[in-house]
Chain A
Amino acid sequence: MIELSGVGRAYEVGGEVLHALRDVDETIDSGDYVALMGPSGSGKSTLLNVMGCLDQPTSGTYRLDGREVGSLTEDELSEVRRHKIGFVFQSFHLIPRLSAVENVALPMMLAGVSVAERRKRALEALETVGLAKRADHRPNEISGGEAQRVAIARATIMRPAILLADEPTGNLDSASGATVVALLEELNAQGLTLVVVTHDPNMAARAKRVLLMRDGRIVNRIAGSELSETLHRSKVLEATP
């Protein structure tokens, strides 16, 4: 469970203080499906990084499963990221010189899983995302959609509780995007907490909850179904002469 109270994140850039997040209060329960929307620079990605313990709030408190994150040491944060959190990035972030199966196995290497088990589990994970036959291909030998599915397999290989996806379909065509979204939602259906940053209202509308952000604040919270209706209505309006 993610509990944010009064979370702010300020940067100092050239003597000026920049507030990427201001006073964010939000609770995300286990198994939730949340979309973060808002214009560029509204703080969506910063919020996602704070949730993922990659970035630290400069004010307020963040409790992850009841544990105050601000009090953790750097190595404890690594431990949290390794076991509780999976990241999916817009640009996939696969290591180019490693094969698909090696990329998927990477978190297990960091966690000290034995070599034999690593390969076995990584192959199983690739099978789950439908890429068993691509196991020994390098990232430059597979399509973007396939690369993102490899990245999802990697993000979930340590069976984390939370999956954080930053524009996961941003670099994909609509067909591969749909496959990726389906995969993410399937994982969510299995109980994984899913937080997605997106520009795409159609994708956000699929979430249970949508958080609209502006200037580092959450300015509106709506249900995904509500957004879906709004979108539908505007489409109908557009279609009407």
Chain B
Amino acid sequence: MTGADFIGFAWTALSRQRRRTFLSLIGVTVGVAAVILLTALGEGARIYVSQQFEALGKNLIIVMPGKNETTGFSGVGGAPNDLTLEDAEALARQVTQIRELAPVTIGESLIAHQERRRRSTVLGTTEAMKSIRGLRVSMGRFLPEGAMDRGDAVAVLGADIASELFGNTFPVGKVVRIGDWRTRVIGVLESQGTQMGLDLDEVVIIPVASGMRLYNRTSLFRIMASARHHGDLEVVRRRITEVLTDRHEEEDFTCISEDSVAGAFSQILTALTAALGGIAAISLSVAGIGIMNLMLVSVSERTPEVGLLKALGATRFQILGVFLTEAILLTTGGAILGVCLGWLLVQVLVAVYPTLPATPPLWAIAMVVATAFATGIFFGLLPARRATDLDPVASLARR
């Protein structure tokens, strides 16, 4: 008996019981479609996030005060040293592989122009931020070049802030109040959208020294640096760590590359996707139990047939194969239908939410089809064994 014989024989049995076959197929189909859809969502989220990171530029390094890695031995305790403008200047000077470096402070203030006012995030930084973040200016200019500690009274407005405070009037050259501090608008950003959770259309950018004075800060919020070459990223990270450790006499800061953040996000979302897929796969095993029931009924109904096959000289293996093939055909057939249905649902989803690049990962498709196959074997085995163990004489006698 060849494989084609097993499939052909199983097919005659399944096609004879159309409604029953269809109903148990649906169980598997829905389970598989759920796996495809959920993993596609997870994968879509992962791709979306990594696209966001790519929008920032890949060769970015971020230094922040404080060590948030837990090491077994923390050594000297106490508050970390400030991350100062001098640190930033030292890094820019000493780490030659850095292309651009921008210190960052952050605060929140009421921004006012005449009667219009609005609460907004205020970012203190330098001219270098423009190229690091790929910012574009629609009117006027970005922050002026010059020493980091120059705290001019100038501001660059995000696109939304500018239109809310000034409406249709031209903002460049006008005076705005940031809290109590009067400053002159020198430029407006192009609409950029959200990057790293910060809506750049809603920020006000001022020189970093002004920012530290305005919020009475002694420490920077971040230092951002871009490497000359993507391959230098690790070297830059090591050099920054060396220079700062030397200046602070301990490693009381955290230095991360955009790559590692993106990698961590990607890992988290992949794990999440796998978890979603796993949960959906549970519904597959439920479908498997349905198939086991169907097969048990089928074996019981076809007891005389089993007896006949034995009388005609079928081996144990052949009887087992006949029923196992039926179960596997059901689950694998259901899986193939489910992949099609899932793919269709994903297309609908993408049509409705075009920003989410939802696509079922190949590993999920392979996994779900393999799982369905294994489910068929696993849940088909018990009924098939029951058929194999039937006594031929008693089976033939039953009508």
Q: Do A and B come from one complex?
A: yes
Q: Which residues does A use to contact B, with CB under 8 Å?
A: 46, 49, 52, 54-55, 74-75, 78-83, 87, 89, 91, 93, 95, 97-98, 102, 106-107, 109-112, 115, 154, 158
Q: Using Cβ atoms and an 8 Å threshold, which residues of chain B touch A112?
A: 1-2
Pair B308/A75 contact, Cβ less than 8 Å: no
- The answer to whether residues A95 and B2 also contact, given A75-B315, A78-B313 and a CB cut-off of 8 A, is no
Check: B272 CB closer than 8 A to any chain A CB: no
Q: Using Cβ atoms and an 8 Å threshold, which residues of chain A touch B318?
A: 110
Q: Nearest Cβ distance between residue B397 and chain A, in whole angstroms?
A: 8
Pair B316/A110 contact, Cβ less than 8 Å: no
Q: Which of the candidate stretches B5-13, B54-62, B207-215, B239-247 sits at the interface with the other chain?
A: B5-13
A32 CA to B274 CA, complexed, in Å: 70
**Count the B residues whose beta carbon is within 8 Å of the partner chain — how many?**
26
A82 CA to B392 CA, complexed, in Å: 14
Residue of A at shortest CB range from B309? A110
Pair A91/B399 contact, Cβ less than 8 Å: yes
A110 CA to B317 CA, complexed, in Å: 11
Q: Using Cβ atoms and an 8 Å threshold, which residues of chain A touch B315?
A: 74-75, 78, 110
Pair B305/A55 contact, Cβ less than 8 Å: no
User: Mind listing 27 A-B residue pairs with CB under 8 Å?
Assistant: A46-B393, A49-B393, A54-B311, A54-B392, A55-B393, A74-B315, A75-B315, A75-B316, A75-B317, A78-B310, A79-B313, A80-B313, A81-B310, A81-B313, A82-B312, A87-B311, A93-B304, A95-B308, A97-B13, A97-B16, A98-B12, A110-B1, A110-B309, A110-B312, A110-B313, A110-B315, A112-B1
A208 CA to B317 CA, complexed, in Å: 40
Pair B396/A89 contact, Cβ less than 8 Å: yes
A75 CA to B316 CA, complexed, in Å: 7
Given contacts A74-B316, A112-B1, 19 further A-B contacts (CB under 8 A): A46-B393, A49-B393, A54-B310, A55-B393, A78-B314, A78-B315, A78-B316, A80-B313, A81-B310, A83-B313, A93-B304, A93-B396, A97-B13, A97-B16, A98-B12, A106-B312, A110-B318, A111-B313, A154-B312
A52 CA to B312 CA, complexed, in Å: 10
A55 CA to B309 CA, complexed, in Å: 15
Identify which of B5, B317, B392, B393 contacts A109 (C-beta below 8 A): B5
A158 CA to B312 CA, complexed, in Å: 10
Q: Nearest Cβ distance between residue A114 and chain B, in whole angstroms?
A: 9
Interface string of B311-348 (1 = CB under 8 A from A): 11111111000000000000000000000000000000
Pair B311/A97 contact, Cβ less than 8 Å: no
A97 CA to B315 CA, complexed, in Å: 22
Q: Using Cβ atoms and an 8 Å threshold, which residues of chain A touch B12?
A: 97-98, 102
Identify which of A46, A91, A95, A107 contacts B313 (C-beta below 8 A): A107
Q: Using Cβ atoms and an 8 Å threshold, which residues of chain B touch A158?
A: 313
Identify which of B13, B311, B316, B317 contacts A52 (C-beta below 8 A): B311
Q: Using Cβ atoms and an 8 Å threshold, which residues of chain A touch B5?
A: 109
Q: Using Cβ atoms and an 8 Å threshold, which residues of chain B touch A75?
A: 315-317
